[in-house]
Structure 1
Amino acid sequence: MNSLGNPLPRIVLTEAIQTSRSTWRDRTIKKLATPPLLSVRPLQPTNNARLFHTSSSIKRTMEKSVGESANSWLGHRGAAAFDLRSDTMTTPTQAMLSAIQKTTLLDDVFEEDPATINLETHAASLTGKEAGLFVLSGTMGNQIALRSLLTQPPHGVLTDHRSHIVKYEAGGVSSLTGAMITAVAPSNGLYLTLEDILSRVVLGDEIHSCPTRVISLENSLNGLIMPLDEVKRISKFAREQGILMHCDGARLWEVVASGAGSLQDFCQCFDTTSLCFSKGLGAPIGSIIVGPKRLIKHARWVRKSIGGGLRQSGVVTAAARVAVDVTFGKGPNGEGGLLRDTHVTAKRVEKLWTDLGGKLEYPVQTNMVWLDLESLNCTSSRFVELGNQVGLRLMGNRLITHYQIGEVAIQRLTSVFERIAAEKDERAQGGNRKAQQRSQYNSKL
């Protein structure tokens, strides 16, 4: 049945067309055949001199690997195996590619594609919501959701000052909704509390101010978890005041995998939630908005108005469904998935760093490790440089231990940490020698 309740036309392929499609598909699969993964010899992290002595050859190997894999679908332990910059670097697996090859190819603007409908229905079921809408990105998901919640100005959105909608969505809230953002710094340095909300929320109808119509919370934010109890407190207050709630849940999967609560526990606190498939879950493209049917119906309209309507969307939604089932897990709490192990790896990286005297900017709660590089007298540029020397892709002081990071990458990262600590000691020893020389010189005067 289509969106109007009419039966779908039955598609009958002639034998010639079927044969032609089969031949085309076979040729395509042959062209996309996965090359063998690069064989990397495990390195001993304690042998720093040898590791950095051979860094040039490692770098050449990495460049060769990246060059070959940039246009190849390598999947698990592929192009992302040595890339700790972001979980967006994850690449689709063979299971995802197989699902793409077998997917349905009907028109989603007409709401007729089975693979897309299946994904949207499944996401709604997992989150305890009535309906879902597939979108191309997390930014699109947030912007469509907020545009659907905000229908008439004056209206304001209250959110964390570090949130994605404030810093990384090109001012989309103001340009698409005309809303004013109230950006709030959490008093505890980690996550917003109800007390933070109360200090900045705009209530009433005083005409000189812009009333708060939506509270948007991001969970996780910088890898930090907003506890379920705090989310419930804020949600209860918002509903009492007639304020709508949106969750930027691009990494809510990680929060759930940590054991902080189920998808339904968190999503029931919000009117709309956006969830990303292409970060830690590893799908190539896409996010989803979940919420009540009336809001999702309006969101579909908004999506169309900004050019987000897709035709044969099954080629991406099929991969996203595999990402949910395999990487997150088939249960609402991430049972049987791969995310929990990434949190263990993050804690391991934390210990490797702190055992050398390093400090952290934030506690490690999911799969993000925020290094305080200054605690070991290291700059961001030096950190990235040392990573390049051993074939690691690093950025700033944030490390994300997504599920495609391999053991060899952790060994190489260990050697980078040890090199940073050694350089600090060398500078300290050099400083002590200079101090001794000055002291000896002064004593002779």
Structure 2
Amino acid sequence: MDFSTFTNQSPAHNDFRSDTFTTPTLSMVNSLATTSLGDAVYNEDDKTTQLEKKVAELTGKEAGLYCVSGTLSNQIAMRVNLFQPPYSILCDARAHVYVHEAGGMSTLTQAMPQTIMPKNGIHLTLEDDILPNFIPDDGEIHSAPTKLICLENTLHGMIFPIEEIKKISNFCKENDVKLHLDGARIWNASAETGISLKEYSMYFDSVSLCLSKTLGAPVGTVLVSDKKFILKANHFKKQNGGGIRQSGLLASMAIVAIDENFEKLKDTHKMAKELGELCESKGIILEHPVQTNFVFVDIAANKISPSKLIEISDKYGVKIYSGRVSFHYQISQDSFEKAKKVIVEAFDYAKEHPFEEVHNFKFYTAENK
């Protein structure tokens, strides 16, 4: 095998579309030589079991379940947390479980979504957002009681404060409501705040931790909870076509990703914050505060033409095809410098040629290359 593909600069060095574009490293590929080849559907693969135990221990949970994606882990977690409809799931209106999982919340769980835009614009709070919208299970037959609350940390790169998580968790326990965390990028929150994964996770009934976002594993997410929960989650995983046979190949690379890349996350945050500070100094309006590895440039407010942004990005040889600028550990310094030029040039062009049309940008279309 020609290993130069894995030792040279990653093809993702100039890709700011998402932190999912990272490519496997040489150490990940080398781990395949000593991986196990058991059948994970029969719980007979040692590496998969090792990965599940590793993440469970990091989060202080009894057990873990390796899934092919965060969508699968979130959806089966919601399903296990719920019992008999009618019921509702309360979440942020921007939450991945609601916006980006193909309507699975409704079709797979039969739940009514209760979506809330936080009053503070950053994260849900108990007093301002949850209490005014909570539907109690009090015998009122016209309603679908709130039986599950889903939080996301980070959401759009913003960190959910641990003190607010504690308040919401206590409320859930007092009212017999389950609490799930879409922790796809909880690694980033932990790296930035110094709060351990275990401390974050202790307040939730279930947590989904992505391995292919930000950490750089090629495939997968681990769902953690107690043993009874994970046993039932595995049942729904199989039902949804998520069984993986020789998943040790993937699990080996995921273990390397955790061990080698977790400590690199804070450097990606520094890059994002530097871009955010540059934007603020130039008067470029941002949608959200920059707290971890994302910068959200408000395309509409800055009157930037989406097609012009793509044109300028292509000119500099980087991939910034929307206002969401994502940083990962394989971004090169040269690409970062070019990215700054792209944003400033697109903004300067917009001042002379403001884009006034409505543009509903889609991340996953041919238009977005």
- The TM-score normalised by the length of structure 1 is 0.76
Give the C-alpha shift of residue 424 in structure 1. 5.2
Pair 112,421 (structure 1): closer, same or farther in 2 beyond 3 Å: closer
Equivalence for 1:174: 106
Contact 1:227 1:260 in 2 (8 A): no
Alignment-mate amino acid for residue 200 of structure 1: N
Alignment of 1:355 with 2:281, yes or no, is yes
Equivalence for 2:145: 211
Alignment of 1:109 with 2:41, yes or no, is yes
Give the C-alpha shift of residue 310 in structure 1. 1.4
Measure, in 1, the Cα distance between the counterparts of 2:111 and 2:253.
35
Alignment-mate amino acid for residue 54 of structure 2: H
Measure, in 2, the Cα distance between the counterparts of 1:238 and 1:76.
49
Task: Return the match for 1:385 from 311, 317, 341.
Answer: 311
Pair 76,92 (structure 1): closer, same or farther in 2 beyond 3 Å: farther
Q: Aligned with 1:274: secondary structure? A: strand
Measure, in 2, the Cα distance between the counterparts of 1:138 and 1:427.
40
Equivalence for 1:199: 132
Contact 2:320 2:339 in 1 (8 A): no
Equivalence for 2:176: 242
Measure, in 2, the Cα distance between the counterparts of 1:149 and 1:322.
31
Contact 2:118 2:124 in 1 (8 A): yes
Alignment of 1:85 with 2:33, yes or no, is no
Measure, in 2, the Cα distance between the counterparts of 1:247 and 1:76.
36
Give the C-alpha shift of residue 265 in structure 1. 1.2
Equivalence for 2:196: 262
Post-superposition Cα deviations, 1:26-45, rounded to whole Å, max 9, x if no partner, equal: xxxx2xx233xxxxxxxxxx
Equivalence for 1:145: 77
Greater shift, 415-424 or 275-284, is seen at 415-424
Post-superposition Cα deviations, 1:4-57, rounded to whole Å, max 9, x if no partner, equal: xxxxxxxxxxxxxxxxxxxxxxxxxx2xx233xxxxxxxxxxxxxxxxxxxxxx
Contact 2:180 2:206 in 1 (8 A): yes
Alignment of 1:310 with 2:244, yes or no, is yes
Greater shift, 236-245 or 170-179, is seen at 170-179
Pair 425,179 (structure 1): closer, same or farther in 2 beyond 3 Å: closer
Contact 2:68 2:221 in 1 (8 A): yes
Contact 1:248 1:274 in 2 (8 A): yes
Pair 338,371 (structure 1): closer, same or farther in 2 beyond 3 Å: same
Q: Aligned with 2:304: secondary structure? A: coil
Q: Aligned with 2:199: secondary structure? A: helix
Alignment-mate amino acid for residue 161 of structure 1: A
Pair 352,295 (structure 1): closer, same or farther in 2 beyond 3 Å: same
Contact 2:305 2:350 in 1 (8 A): no
Measure, in 1, the Cα distance between the counterparts of 2:270 and 2:228.
40
Equivalence for 1:319: 253
Equivalence for 1:395: 321
Contact 1:78 1:91 in 2 (8 A): yes
Q: Aligned with 1:231: secondary structure? A: helix
Give the C-alpha shift of residue 353 in structure 1. 2.2
Q: Which has the larger radius of gyration?
A: 1
Contact 2:79 2:109 in 1 (8 A): yes
Measure, in 1, the Cα distance between the counterparts of 2:19 and 2:350.
30
Give the C-alpha shift of residue 132 in structure 1. 0.3
Contact 2:313 2:321 in 1 (8 A): no
Equivalence for 2:166: 232
Measure, in 1, the Cα distance between the counterparts of 2:144 and 2:332.
50
Contact 2:276 2:295 in 1 (8 A): yes
Measure, in 1, the Cα distance between the counterparts of 2:353 and 2:306.
17
Q: Aligned with 2:14: secondary structure? A: coil
Measure, in 2, the Cα distance between the counterparts of 1:95 and 1:317.
13
Equivalence for 1:423: 349
Measure, in 2, the Cα distance between the counterparts of 1:399 and 1:325.
26
Pair 424,156 (structure 1): closer, same or farther in 2 beyond 3 Å: closer
Aligned pairs for 1:288-303 (under 5 A) are 288-303=222-237
Measure, in 1, the Cα distance between the counterparts of 2:197 and 2:235.
26
Give the C-alpha shift of residue 378 in structure 1. 2.2
Alignment-mate amino acid for residue 102 of structure 2: A
Alignment-mate amino acid for residue 250 of structure 1: A
Q: Aligned with 2:297: secondary structure? A: strand
Equivalence for 1:404: 330
Q: Aligned with 1:372: secondary structure? A: coil
Measure, in 2, the Cα distance between the counterparts of 1:208 and 1:417.
50
Pair 232,172 (structure 1): closer, same or farther in 2 beyond 3 Å: same
Give the C-alpha shift of residue 375 in structure 1. 5.6
Pair 290,364 (structure 1): closer, same or farther in 2 beyond 3 Å: same
Give the C-alpha shift of residue 109 in structure 1. 1.4
Alignment of 1:128 with 2:60, yes or no, is yes
Pair 423,304 (structure 1): closer, same or farther in 2 beyond 3 Å: closer
Unaligned runs of 5+ in 2: 355-369
Give the C-alpha shift of residue 170 in structure 1. 0.8
Greater shift, 303-312 or 278-287, is seen at 303-312
Measure, in 1, the Cα distance between the counterparts of 2:142 and 2:300.
45
Unaligned runs of 5+ in 1: 1-29, 36-72, 329-336, 429-445
Greater shift, 133-142 or 304-313, is seen at 304-313
Measure, in 2, the Cα distance between the counterparts of 1:339 and 1:320.
15
Task: Return the match for 2:3 from 34, 46, 54.
Answer: 34
- Equivalent residues, number: 352
Give the C-alpha shift of residue 415 in structure 1. 2.3
Give the C-alpha shift of residue 159 in structure 1. 0.6
Give the C-alpha shift of residue 379 in structure 1. 2.0
Give the C-alpha shift of residue 354 in structure 1. 2.4
Equivalence for 1:188: 120
Give the C-alpha shift of residue 427 in structure 1. 6.0
Q: Aligned with 1:238: secondary structure? A: helix
Contact 1:205 1:211 in 2 (8 A): no
